[in-house]
Structure 1
């Protein structure tokens, strides 16, 4: 047992990456490896990369340095989206031994031998058109919730996005496989499942390698609602044009799906949405938000927005700002536009200066703080259920209500991974809802 090789993992980027890292890690464990934390000395470090933001690219180098500081002789493997798009850049980073692209990352065991450092680092990266098969995955272990992958790839051609280049065509897991994975998660006492993918509203396309929808996203939601033992199901990001009223109506009466939606907007200006080649206009977005609030007034609605896109004038930005300010939404994820190679937007005119992008980002982030505070205040006096997480953060344990209000109470390890009905009574200085210890247990 003492001779078992140790492997550690680091994930950059989205929930989908976390689910895939967990699946790859289980493959290593089945091969006899010991999985250790990334802060520990390991024989091999696997870094699952992201290509969505410029910052994620820079983070990769920092993570490699951290790994080599722990063990200068460690075997370093990079996998994932950045590894698919720019393998030469990754392999040029000092200390990297192996780079695997979109399809190869799930066969990583086949590419490693004795974990000796490579004199000449290897790249195995497919043509993205070959990424036409589906590998199901989910993450569990260090969380009270699991990320369950139901779909991969994207057929949309948004002008700023590299994900179709990094992950290939839209394709889905078979419904019976998703349900089986959900049952496996349930059997491990995980209380919450978050559905994840690249474009999950497109679920059903590409099962068994074809483009026909064998099932719809509504079929998926309805089937998962019947899985025993799962307390909560949460839908991650879903495109507004694919979030149908039937799905909203079903969630409003579901026994397990929670009233929380994350719906990308990207811009509140129809002119900019057209430049982005988004598949909706702002009027559709308004309809979706209004429908959700009509049937679930207490629902939490998160929004993705990009600032500084080429051609975005001050007037366009203010159009988006006022649109969101007036909208009954709960928080924003703000992305500052950054040029990505091999995208249409990178060659567009009307480049927004970096300092203007930064200013707009700051304004949007301030708006997000205001929106979240207003949403939390609207929930004061209501009774909700909180699921406590596992970390002790400065003497407090944190958790989220079903409608995504962040709650904290003094640390008590007995509360980890437990659900409790609570009354939301006051917001603390840090913006979270503060509970007294006794309240948390009632």
Structure 2
């Protein structure tokens, strides 16, 4: 039984690290608390509840999580502090010992976050009453189960303070790549039914949503739980009235079927926009990573996308400096990426993760060399993105505009994910969440977007 009275007129602060899936889940937690009477703490307010949704994809991410917790505890004295997410699953006990932390929930428990929070908060208030108004120490509670016991699925379809909705269609991963801790933090692949996801999309449409991003850990693996398929999901969502745009978040090359590519090329709602993790353009390194494809398969997927959707934006994840990546392997990777027709590279320096199989690979790349390699790939990425954007200067496009601060330029994206900027003097609040036709102009000052004018 949830004690709703403890939440009335309380203020909450939220902090999220990591992927789009984490942001979607935090937004859902916030919505659930708002339904119980909790409002978001304003600037300068001291929050009653602090929720941190953590990431653990790199050692840097772990450090940022600890920093965020310390900062929220310091800035919100007396607040009830709850921590969840991947770092909370992998290091539940140690996170719970951080000064000021009351409750840590692992990946299975976060599906019942409100119940856990209600119980723990009531216990803390009871302790305060027994202490007759004196200072009550943090609870330092933690709840998590071993990876193989993670079975729950926490639904999420929300936008928070964003324009686009993020619909969680899948969680967990069965791939166990040698460098990655995510399967240990998220558990095995699992998903809800297509019918439940369609219902969430319909609800988003009723709320006025026009674009939904399909998120998950390994979304191409959709169907492990229900025996359905990702293509079937896309076909069902395509029929939802009111949603004009869908974007597919990161999908493994071996799970991006030719049939799905063909479907997207014919759908008016699924945008010509793909994000495909490559990780390395060296077959030798891909084998060391235990990835389930090679360069030839990846190149085929890119070629097919461009054949059917010449204007498609293709983002690619690349990891540099992983164990086993010799200088020769990196050069092979660079040359492959230089040659393949992708739009933008998301470059991540390899980070050693305790307990991963990669630690058994003997060849180690030092940090200085990682920075050099990262810089080369980031420069290549910027060259490719700018060349892609330049193709659309002078064209007419449809843009979904996103909310901007008063007096600031508005931004938005074309169907193929070209970022645009509408000058502040032309921006209006009513343009938020509207798809408007524009003429694409020249680059803005930092070349992060093309300036536009409305038609």
Corresponding residue for residue 47 of structure 1: 52
Corresponding residue for residue 130 of structure 2: none
Once residues 176 and 102 of structure 1 are traced to their aligned partners in structure 2, the CA distance between those partners, rounded to angstroms, is 24
- 1:434 deviates by 3.7
**8 Å CA contact retained: 1:302, 1:333:** yes
Corresponding residue for residue 185 of structure 2: 166
- 1:380 deviates by 2.3
Corresponding residue for residue 433 of structure 2: 417
- 1:120 deviates by 4.6
- 1:140 deviates by 1.9
- 1:394 deviates by 7.4
**8 Å CA contact retained: 2:421, 2:444:** no
Once residues 104 and 46 of structure 1 are traced to their aligned partners in structure 2, the CA distance between those partners, rounded to angstroms, is 14
Once residues 45 and 319 of structure 2 are traced to their aligned partners in structure 1, the CA distance between those partners, rounded to angstroms, is 37
**TM-score between the two structures when normalised by the length of structure 2:** 0.91
Corresponding residue for residue 125 of structure 1: 144
Once residues 27 and 153 of structure 1 are traced to their aligned partners in structure 2, the CA distance between those partners, rounded to angstroms, is 23
Alignment of 1:11 onto 2:19:
no
- 1:37 deviates by 5.3
- Counting only pairs closer than 5 Å after superposition, residues 245-284 of structure 1 correspond to structure 2 as 245-284=258-297
In the superposition, relative to structure 1, how do residues 271 and 393 fare at CA in structure 2: closer, same or farther (>3 Å)? Answer: farther
In the superposition, relative to structure 1, how do residues 351 and 344 fare at CA in structure 2: closer, same or farther (>3 Å)? Answer: same
**TM-score between the two structures when normalised by the length of structure 1:** 0.94
Partner of 2:348, secondary structure, is strand
Partner of 1:152, secondary structure, is coil
**8 Å CA contact retained: 1:24, 1:106:** no
Once residues 223 and 39 of structure 1 are traced to their aligned partners in structure 2, the CA distance between those partners, rounded to angstroms, is 45
Partner of 2:442, secondary structure, is coil
**8 Å CA contact retained: 1:10, 1:38:** no
Alignment of 1:153 onto 2:137:
no
368-377 or 390-399: which moved more?
A: 390-399
Once residues 266 and 48 of structure 2 are traced to their aligned partners in structure 1, the CA distance between those partners, rounded to angstroms, is 50
Once residues 167 and 331 of structure 1 are traced to their aligned partners in structure 2, the CA distance between those partners, rounded to angstroms, is 27
In the superposition, relative to structure 1, how do residues 176 and 113 fare at CA in structure 2: closer, same or farther (>3 Å)? Answer: same
- 1:191 deviates by 1.5
Partner of 1:425, secondary structure, is strand
Query: What is the Cα-based RMSD across aligned positions, in Å?
Result: 1.8
- Counting only pairs closer than 5 Å after superposition, residues 334-349 of structure 1 correspond to structure 2 as 334-349=347-362
Once residues 129 and 73 of structure 1 are traced to their aligned partners in structure 2, the CA distance between those partners, rounded to angstroms, is 36
Partner of 2:362, secondary structure, is coil
In the superposition, relative to structure 1, how do residues 290 and 100 fare at CA in structure 2: closer, same or farther (>3 Å)? Answer: same
Alignment of 1:136 onto 2:186:
no
- 1:44 deviates by 0.9
How many residue pairs get matched?
433
Corresponding residue for residue 178 of structure 1: 197
Could you tell me which of 116, 121, 125 is aligned with 1:113?
121
Partner of 1:171, secondary structure, is coil
**8 Å CA contact retained: 2:281, 2:337:** yes
